[in-house]
Structure 1
Amino acid sequence: MITVKFIWMNMKRIPFLTLILFTFLISCSSKNDKEVNKKAEKSAELELLANGQLRFLKLSGSSYERGFAHGELLKNEIQEVIKLFKEDIKSSTGQEPDEFIKSFLAQTDYKNSVEKWTPELMDELKGISEGSGVDFETIFMHQLGDEYWFNSKDILAHSCSSFGVNKTNSEPSITAQNMDIPEFYHGFQTVIESSVPGSDKKLMYLTIPGHLGITGMNNRSLSINCNTLMQLDYAKTGLPVTFIVRGVLSKETQEEALAFLEEINHASGQNYIIGGPEKVFSLECSSTKVVEFRPFENSLFTYHTNHPMSNNDYSANYLDALNANNKSPEEGLYECQRIKSFQRRFTENTKSISITNIKDVLSSRDNEGSDVVSNKTTYSSVIYELSAKPRFIIAPGKPHETEYIELEW
């Protein structure tokens, strides 16, 4: 049995809703054994920040308990997001969404990789499913945004811009990103702070209701940012991007996170900027190859959009498209304008980069076209300061029109 107590509280400028979940875990009796009922108290807090633009959900307990609280507290939002997702499936594929999901999951084998590399996340998904009332297969499909795009969308689909800078004498290491995702997700901006049982470790990640996370950091000053690279080879097996994000954030050190990215099998082409207390790394990952990208030798910083610059493990679809357009891999199918915004601001003469400098580029709209850093698909802009007291800074919307706020651990 679960009872939910609602407590309204007032703070300076920001109202928030605190929900305390008292969960009574009752073990079942078998024919031969008598179990003793056990009671455990868990808590979850939901704050509405930035004039209601951002949901900030704090969770504790086991993987399943955190997932259940997530699902129950954001039940309405999750069901609405799933409805919109299914509408997108129908318009994009022409198939009935439930049939498409069933077929997609039957033709791919991502679950085995999740069970192998991040099994605790399956428990969290079960909790989200049961808390929200959405069936598990649909919730699992909800995690496969990149894999859905690779297996059914146009190879030209692109968005997102990321940046990272090493620690200097005057500034800590910093990573940052404009997370650009389909517009039907906009208005559901959510950040979750998740406490790890038996530890003082906490994760904080940007997400969509019902989703495990799309970018984030932990309080060990470890962060991950993601950029889809649809030109690279992909697979119907391997670990999906969502689970890679959470897998990285579960690590204690940057070294462990980098080893994890080298060790796993990747389901989708993706660039990951992995931040740590001293340095940042940008890794272009295909299904069979991981290659570091840095703008120039010994560069203080790195950046990325959605074009591979080091990894040449291209997909057959992309090579066919190049041939059809008489283009070479070096030319590509089109020229990215967003990366020029980083290249103009950060050069070999750059010696120090501040959060103000990063806000400037993430808010930039440097040309008259739609291919600008802060654009119509920008869901949120995040900045992670990876200092001794790490900071999570977010603009829950397009940063050229939405103010940044800092979330407290």
Structure 2
Amino acid sequence: MYKNLLILFVSVVFLACKGESPKDKDLSMVAQNQSAQLELLGDGKLRFLKLSGNPYERGLAHGKALKSEIQEVIHLFKKDIAETTQEDPDAFIAKFLAVTDYKAAVEKWMPESMMELKGISEGSGVDFETIFMHQLGDEYWFNAKDVMAHSCSSFGVNKSAELPSITAQNMDIPEYYHGFQTVLKIDDPDSGKEIMVLTIPGHLGITGMNTKSVSINCNTLMQLDYGKTGLPVTFIVRGVLEKNKQEDALAFIDEITHASGQNYIIGGPEKVYSLECSANQVVEFRPFENSSFTYHTNHPMSNTDFSEPYLMQLESYGKTVEEGLYECQRIKSFQQRFTEQTSDIEIEEIKSVLRARDHEGRDVVSNSNTYASVIYELSEQPKFIIAPGKPHETDYIEIDF
């Protein structure tokens, strides 16, 4: 379905040397066979990186294979921090990590991911604190940026007699990340599954699926309450994808403390769930009772655990919670296409809504912030389908597990 262009094979062997700390020596001893294969797909628009080994080994290979891209992305991220906060970005990162405690939640629920980040840091030559901050996009936006940022759109449909369950999303992120579209394919030998994630170089993943037909899509809900503790979105994505069963992924979402307001569409082989999560609540959303499908953008429709900054903004504009600050146009694109009479939703219909530009404004499904569009077919032979760019301009390709 596509032509692979193999441009790099990385195989690195680390040996212990004099002057290493005991911890560093331990890490280098476990990195004997780590490797990565990097390809360009989709007419060169998509980096596709295959990783294997333990978390540290995968991170180290990731960091080395995408070293220049990671360093460039970090430069752009720091530039954004400086422009947003009017502070030195390194000083801001140090202060941000000092006044928050996300690491404690990561160590509690996703400790192995810290080893993967250490590998990315060492492989890329970017210090660990900055790499950790790079994972905190949503938490950075919640704590330092405009309350109404973001414009993602997601969809999911249950399995039917004729068709498998499917989840899908346009992932919309700041434009300075565009051009770095990357997919990681991770071989997890302990569980016998593979994980595929859309990401940014140096990042653990922003949406993805696995070969056990578990998937996750994300939409920021900046109106909802958040905290300076709890598990950040990036680690929730990877935590869900490490599960072999959808019920375990749902239990994980319910068990953890959430650092940020977020909608997660959790896919499984039979059914999909749309969960609105805040610091204090997890609430399911469906368009109507017994709906076989669901969709979401960036406006809470079930969860009422609003943040104080959002309530203050409403008050300043003389708006009620029911009115909101503005009306989302993207949600109308889904509502118009998928109603109580809709049945047997096929991939081409999902592609159609993900390409939608239903009016002249900026608040359209395929918009200037759309980094990539993904469709996950959760069948016995799962399919990862991606348009590495705005789907009204970029063709979809299928990447094999």
Scaled to the shorter chain, the TM-score interval is over 0.9
Alignment TM-score, normalising by the size of structure 2: 0.96
Q: Which residue of 2 aligns with 1:311?
A: 303
Whether the 8 Å CA contact 2:286–2:294 is kept in 1: the answer is yes
The answer on 1:280 being equivalent to 2:272 is yes
Q: Aligned partners of 1:255, 1:62: CA distance in 2, in Å?
A: 25
Q: Which residue of 2 aligns with 1:4?
A: none
The answer on 1:408 being equivalent to 2:369 is no
Q: Which residue of 1 aligns with 2:241?
A: 249
Q: Which residue of 2 aligns with 1:98?
A: 90
Q: Which residue of 2 aligns with 1:8?
A: none
Whether the 8 Å CA contact 1:25–1:38 is kept in 2: the answer is no
The letter for the 2-side match of 1:190 is T
Q: What is the 5 A alignment of 1:314-393?
A: 314-393=306-385
User: What SS is found at the alignment partner of 1:87?
Assistant: helix
Please, which of 74, 85, 88 is the counterpart of residue 77 of structure 2?
85
Shift of 1:156: 1.4
Q: Aligned partners of 2:135, 2:30: CA distance in 1, in Å?
A: 33
User: What SS is found at the alignment partner of 1:23?
Assistant: coil
Please, which of 242, 263, 275 is the counterpart of residue 271 of structure 1?
263
Q: Aligned partners of 1:198, 1:330: CA distance in 2, in Å?
A: 48
User: What SS is found at the alignment partner of 2:13?
Assistant: strand
Moved segments of 4+, more than 3 Å: 11-14, 24-30, 37-40
Q: Aligned partners of 1:387, 1:27: CA distance in 2, in Å?
A: 48
Q: Aligned partners of 1:18, 1:75: CA distance in 2, in Å?
A: 12
Q: Which residue of 1 aligns with 2:174?
A: 182
The letter for the 2-side match of 1:372 is V
Shift of 1:351: 1.2
Please, which of 116, 122, 128 is the counterpart of residue 124 of structure 1?
116
Shift of 1:29: 11
Q: Which residue of 2 aligns with 1:19?
A: 9
The letter for the 1-side match of 2:188 is V
The answer on 1:219 being equivalent to 2:211 is yes
The answer on 1:113 being equivalent to 2:105 is yes
The letter for the 1-side match of 2:339 is T
Q: Aligned partners of 1:229, 1:399: CA distance in 2, in Å?
A: 23
Q: Which residue of 1 aligns with 2:158?
A: 166
Q: Aligned partners of 1:146, 1:116: CA distance in 2, in Å?
A: 20
Whether the 8 Å CA contact 1:172–1:387 is kept in 2: the answer is yes
User: What SS is found at the alignment partner of 1:41?
Assistant: coil
Whether the 8 Å CA contact 1:16–1:49 is kept in 2: the answer is no
The letter for the 2-side match of 1:19 is F
**Number of residue equivalences:** 394
The letter for the 2-side match of 1:271 is N
Whether the 8 Å CA contact 1:19–1:46 is kept in 2: the answer is yes
The letter for the 1-side match of 2:6 is F
Whether the 8 Å CA contact 2:31–2:57 is kept in 1: the answer is no
The answer on 1:208 being equivalent to 2:208 is no
1:330/1:133 CA distance change after superposition, 3 Å: same
The letter for the 2-side match of 1:64 is Y
Shift of 1:158: 2.5
Please, which of 289, 302, 325 is the counterpart of residue 297 of structure 1?
289
Q: Aligned partners of 1:38, 1:268: CA distance in 2, in Å?
A: 34
- Percent of aligned pairs sharing the same letter: 70
- Cα deviation per residue 1:54-82 (whole Å; 9 max; x = unaligned)? 00000001100000000000000000000
Q: Aligned partners of 1:169, 1:387: CA distance in 2, in Å?
A: 12
Alignment TM-score, normalising by the size of structure 1: 0.94
Q: Aligned partners of 1:327, 1:198: CA distance in 2, in Å?
A: 52
Q: Which residue of 1 aligns with 2:23?
A: none
The letter for the 2-side match of 1:187 is G
Q: Aligned partners of 2:265, 2:313: CA distance in 1, in Å?
A: 28
Shift of 1:198: 3.0
Shift of 1:40: 3.6
Q: Aligned partners of 2:50, 2:196: CA distance in 1, in Å?
A: 9
- Cα deviation per residue 1:79-127 (whole Å; 9 max; x = unaligned)? 0000000000000110000000000000000000000000000000000
Q: Which residue of 2 aligns with 1:3?
A: none
RMSD (Å) for aligned C-alpha atoms: 1.7
User: What SS is found at the alignment partner of 1:357?
Assistant: helix
Shift of 1:177: 0.1
Shift of 1:201: 1.0
Whether the 8 Å CA contact 2:120–2:202 is kept in 1: the answer is yes
